[in-house]
Amino acid sequence: MDLDSVDRGLIHALHLDGRAPFRTIAEVLEVSENTVARRYRRLRSAGLLRVVGTVNGARLGYTPWTVRLRCTPDAAAAVADALAARDDTSWVYLLSGGTEVSCNVQTRSSEDQDALLLHKLPRTRRLVSVSAHLLLGSYALPTTWPGVAHLSPDQVERLQPPQPAPGDSPITLDDGDRALLDALSRDGRAPYSDLTSATGWSESTVRRRMESLRSNGVLHYQVDIPPAVLGFTSQARLWITARPSQVVPTAKALADHPEVSFAALTTGPTNLLAAVNCRDTADLARYLTERVSALDAIREMETAPIIRTVKRAGALLPFSLPFSGA
């Protein structure tokens, strides 16, 4: 589907605030509210875009991991699908020649961590190796990736939601919160009537709790869109070893690259992980040989092209769901 200026403006607006009212977006784009709603329905029904509610596990005391699994060629797709079906995973990819799976995991407790990393995964048939690395700090996130940028600074300012309040103490969720977050992970723009049904709360309670979770940094909204829709057809994961004394400056330098949608410090034999989105393979080659190679602190780097994305953010659903958002 060819995207015009209104489509790209809408995508950028939802990237800034996934639950921004269509009326507000229409005023910023200087089109009618019906036009914005119609474009959103078209993109969503075509399976190109949805808004999902995601959880910042750090505010709940969760532990973030990145996991790499090497499988026999006949098993990788099934392993990736099984991981994608879990509610604690995101960014599940098939890499390289289709024998490697990469994903991010948020474990809620040491028991969950041990069950997944020490028991379930090692016993998976036809699994050649598993390596799990703690994510120690992020320097670039999909929510800040400039690849979606289209609006002017003035338009961005009009749509930018308030920033979450900083907080160090983990927040405790009740059953209603978990039901709310589960519903939003499936459709971040779900109508309040659907959310009241999911939680058993009144609409006023749903609104108040959503605002509280968002202002405390627990709930974020993300645009779940394949980079190829925006013209970035070549994607890869980079595992980088940088000199320990320069690992943080190197991570910050990577985060400044417009190609990078994720950069994090990790444990393990490598100490940095990055996700890059390039226009094509020639663009990826230029990025690796000109941009990354200019970072002198990098000692080694492994590049794994993404051949299929099994899951991005939010719950795993058929992407071509009927429109139900507000």
3-state secondary structure 109-160: CHHHHHHHHHHHCCCCCCEEEEEEEEEEEEEECHHHCHHHCCCCHHHHHHHC
- pLDDT (0 to 100) of residue 213: 95
Q: Identify the three-state secondary structure at position 292.
A: helix
Contact indicator for 133, 273 with CB cutoff of 8 Å: yes
Number of alpha helices (DSSP H) and beta strands (DSSP E) in the chain: 11, 10
Q: Is the separation of the CB atoms in 53 and 181 below 8 Å?
A: yes
pLDDT string in tens for the chain (326-residue length): 789 999 999 999 999 999 999 999 999 999 999 999 999 999 999 989 999 999 999 899 999 999 999 988 888 888 899 899 988 899 999 998 788 999 999 998 888 777 777 667 766 677 888 889 999 999 999 988 999 999 999 999 999 998 887 777 778 899 999 999 999 999 999 999 999 999 999 999 999 999 999 999 999 999 999 999 999 999 999 999 999 999 999 999 999 999 999 999 999 999 999 999 999 999 999 999 999 999 999 999 999 999 999 999 887 755 433 333 33
Q: What is the pLDDT of residue 165?
A: 78
Reading the block at residue 187, the tokens are 């459709």
With residues binned 3-state (H G I as helix, E B as strand, rest as coil), the percentages for the chain, rounded to 5, are 40, 25, 35
pLDDT reported for residue 317: 59
* pLDDT for position 6: 97
Q: What is the pLDDT of residues 93-109, one digit of tens each?
A: 999 878 899 999 999 88
Longest dimension (CA), the chain: 57
In this prediction, residue 321 carries a pLDDT of 36
CA 48 → CA 169, 226, 235, 250, distances in Å?
A: 37, 7, 17, 33
Residue 30 to residues 18, 154, 155, Cα–Cα distance (Å): 19, 13, 10
End-to-end Cα, the chain, rounded Å: 23
Domains in the chain, please, with CATH? 57-136 (3.30.70.920), 139-147+229-311 (3.30.70.920)
Crossing angle of the two packed helices 175-186 and 192-199, in degrees rounded to 10: 140
Q: What is the pLDDT of residue 74?
A: 85
pLDDT score recorded for residue 260: 97
Contact yes or no for 170/59 (Cβ under 8 A):
yes
Calpha distance 199→183 (Å, rounded): 9
